């Protein structure tokens, strides 16, 4: 149902005096809309402050937050942003602890590749997304394979830079797993470059991070990059 503040006060044609007063009426209406809680949802809102900010943003953009397509938008935006930044509420140890296992008999590279991720650029709050490949050289322990994609999600679900994301994945694995080395490569498509600014729709960005033996051994680093770039069917 439309707010009473958005309904015309009369069906008669406005007089010259009415037209002179209309800017003041509009100003009062806008100020009341900004202060007005989200009709029908305020009592059950789990995130009233963020919903209120989303509603104010709609008004600043010249939209009517009470029209049919936008009535639930502040709630959806708040819920979406909380999910997309939920990685800030956790630490890497929360993901990996309990899934580290002794494996003295295995010392070769462990590679989990083409892990999909979705993140928000901290500069424009626009998405960037792509894949990450992660490898490590066990130093006596291995980690449950599903924990590596979970670690990627933890860092991706923050306001991020791709460069920082890549370093954080490598650094946290190195610190918690204590392997002989970690290698990470990420390739992503940034909507802040495609939708605005330079508007380059075909550009992708690749970042890399290495620790330990991957950093000191060029041949090992090449082996990782070759395997990470190889198609799953064995081709290039």
**Residue 45: which pLDDT band, with cuts at 50, 70 and 90?**
low
- pLDDT higher than threshold 70 for residue 27: no
Q: Which residue has the higher pLDDT, 15 or 97?
A: 97
- pLDDT higher than threshold 60 for residue 28: no
- pLDDT higher than threshold 70 for residue 6: no
Length of the chain: 236
Residue 26 corresponds to which tokens in the numbers above? Answer: 């509009």
Is this prediction's pTM over 0.85?
Answer: no
Q: Indicate where the chain has its CATH 3.30.1130.10 domain(s).
A: 92-229
Place of tokens 């959806």: 76
pLDDT mean over 190-217: 93
Q: What is the mean pLDDT of the chain?
A: 85
pLDDT mean over 16-43: 43
Residue 103 corresponds to which tokens in the numbers above? Answer: 């494996």
Integer Cα distance of 76 and 85 in angstroms: 14
pLDDT mean over 199-209: 92
- pLDDT higher than threshold 70 for residue 228: yes
The pLDDT, as a whole number, for residue 59 is 97
Nearest alpha-carbon partner for 74 in 95, 92, 52: 52
- pLDDT higher than threshold 80 for residue 34: no
Q: Which of 13-17, 35-39, 44-48, 91-95 has the lowest mean pLDDT?
A: 35-39
The pLDDT, as a whole number, for residue 2 is 41
Q: Please report, rounded to a whole number, the percentage of residues in the chain having pLDDT higher than 70.
A: 79
Using CA atoms, how far residue 158 sits from 131, 147, 153, 182, in Å, is 16, 18, 9, 22
Q: Which residue has the higher pLDDT, 216 or 39?
A: 216
The pLDDT, as a whole number, for residue 200 is 86
In this structure, which topology does domain 92-229 adopt according to CATH? GTP Cyclohydrolase I, domain 2 (3.30.1130)
Q: Please report, rounded to a whole number, the percentage of residues in the chain having pLDDT higher than 90.
A: 71
**Residue 20: which pLDDT band, with cuts at 50, 70 and 90?**
very low
Integer Cα distance of 216 and 47 in angstroms: 48
pLDDT mean over 171-195: 96
Query: Mind telling me the catalytic residues?
Result: 121-124, 162, 190, 192
């Amino acid at each position: 149902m439309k707010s009473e503040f958005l309904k015309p006060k009369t069906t008669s044609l406005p007089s010259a005096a009415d037209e002179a007063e209309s800017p003041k009426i509009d100003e009062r209406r806008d100020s009341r809309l900004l202060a007005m809680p989200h009709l029908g949802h305020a009592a059950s809102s789990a995130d009233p402050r963020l919903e209120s900010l989303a509603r104010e943003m709609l008004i600043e953009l010249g939209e009517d937050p009470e029209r049919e397509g936008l009535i639930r938008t502040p709630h959806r935006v708040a819920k979406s942003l909380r999910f997309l930044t939920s990685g800030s509420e956790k630490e890497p140890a929360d993901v990996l602890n309990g899934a580290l296992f002794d494996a003295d008999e295995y010392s070769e590279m462990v590679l989990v590749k083409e892990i999909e991720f979705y993140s928000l650029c901290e500069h424009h709050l626009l998405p960037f997304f792509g894949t990450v490949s992660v490898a490590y050289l066990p130093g006596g322990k291995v980690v449950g394979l599903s924990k590596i994609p979970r670690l990627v999600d933890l860092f991706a679900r923050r306001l991020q830079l791709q460069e920082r994301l890549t370093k954080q994945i490598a650094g946290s694995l190195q610190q918690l797993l204590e392997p002989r080395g970690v290698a990470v490569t990420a390739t992503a498509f940034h909507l802040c470059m495609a939708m605005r600014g330079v508007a380059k729709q075909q550009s992708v960005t690749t970042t890399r991070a290495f620790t330990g033996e991957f950093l000191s051994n060029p041949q090992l680093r090449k082996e990782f990059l070759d395997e990470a770039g190889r198609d799953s069917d064995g081709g290039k």
